[in-house]
Amino acid sequence: MKRSNISFVSEGTLLKGWLYEPANTSSTTPAVVMAHGFTSVKEQYLDKYAEVFCSEGFHVLVYDHANFGESEGTPRQEMDPVLQRRGYRDAITFLQSLPGIDPQRIGIWGTSLSGGHVIEVAAIDRRVKCVVAQVPSISGHESAKRRLRSDLVPAMLARYDNDRKARFAGAQPAIIAAVSDDPGVACAMVGVDSYEYFMNTRSFAPNWKNEVTLRSTELFRENEPGHFISRISPTPFLMIVGDNDLLTATDICLTAYEKALEPKKLVMIKGGHFTPYVEHFKVTSEAAASWFNQHLNT
């Protein structure tokens, strides 16, 4: 296989990533679009997934979301779910323009926050012929209720309002930590497992930064991809869920899966939110590759 650096424009912003090309192809091949979750960058295991998919004969496009990693865009470290979903759709358009790729056989893969993105994109963009959502974010509202005690919500909402006023007046966006091992430090993704996962990737993902704009967490609270899940059909849909996921809660994912229509498949793995990338990488990567093979190679 061959990996090349690529870039394409989405909503006026240059997004950068990699294109994996399978070896020994004599005709056009299907392709898969991939991007990472909340604050994450492509070096945090997406290359490993892409290698598995490419070895099965797929072109694979992996890129960083706008404002993160190698991609351009400001404010830096700001997660905008609407822009990120549009990035997926522009990535599809970019792939369809490339030689050697069958524009009618394109699948999308997402994980965590982007697992929610691909649910919504697949529901509204019929160019998508197959979708895999791994430990997906289903409801920002429901997740936020579990991550923050109710008595702390008024203070958080006040912080959002104050940040909006400051930005309106020309100030820089307020920044918080993405993860922390100190319970007293406000961060976007609470829990020891979150902190350990990201800290363990720093040696091979230097572009990841332990910061995110405060507004990103407000935009996350507004994000509701689960509302679209019944509209994915007839596009084939695979959901991969951890049985003890506290970030994208297991019960929320399973309830959403029940609302999806056929054709669909559920793969359950042991462990929490970050186990798909390491402990269960073989299971999760092969399940996704099998799903793409089944529905893009026919």
Q: What is the CATH number of the domain that holds 115?
A: 3.40.50.1820
Angstrom distances, CA of residue 295 to CA of 17, 20, 104, 237, 259: 25, 20, 12, 10, 21
d(CA 106, CA 128): 6
Per residue in 181-198, pLDDT tens?
Answer: 998 888 999 889 999 999
Arithmetic mean of pLDDT, 7-19: 98
Nearest to 176 by CA among 221, 228, 219, 211: 211
Q: Read off the tokens for 60.
A: 């694979």
User: Mean pLDDT of all residues in the chain?
Assistant: 96
Tell me if 217 is assigned to some domain.
no
Question: Which range, of 6-20, 174-188, 237-251, averages the lowest pLDDT?
Answer: 174-188
The angle subtended at Cα 243 by Cα 32 and Cα 143, nearest 5°, is 80
Residue 54's contacts (CB-CB under 8 Å, 6 or more residues apart) are 1, 20, 21, 22, 60
Tell me if 44 is assigned to some domain.
yes
The per-residue pLDDT for 145 is: 85
Strands of the sheet containing 264-269, edge to edge, are 2-10, 13-21, 59-63, 29-35, 101-111, 128-134, 237-242, 264-269
Chain-centre distance for alpha carbon 130: 16
Count structural domains, the chain: 1
Look up tokens 């690529």; give the residue: 6
Q: Read off the tokens for 256.
A: 């959403």
Arithmetic mean of pLDDT, 112-135: 98
Domain range for 83: 2-141+222-296
Please tell me the pTM assigned to this model: 0.96
Q: Read off the tokens for 208.
A: 């990841």
Tell me if 177 is assigned to some domain.
no
d(CA 231, CA 90): 21
Nearest to 289 by CA among 127, 111, 54: 54
Tell me if 194 is assigned to some domain.
no
Tell me if 191 is assigned to some domain.
no
Tell me if 153 is assigned to some domain.
no
Tell me if 183 is assigned to some domain.
no
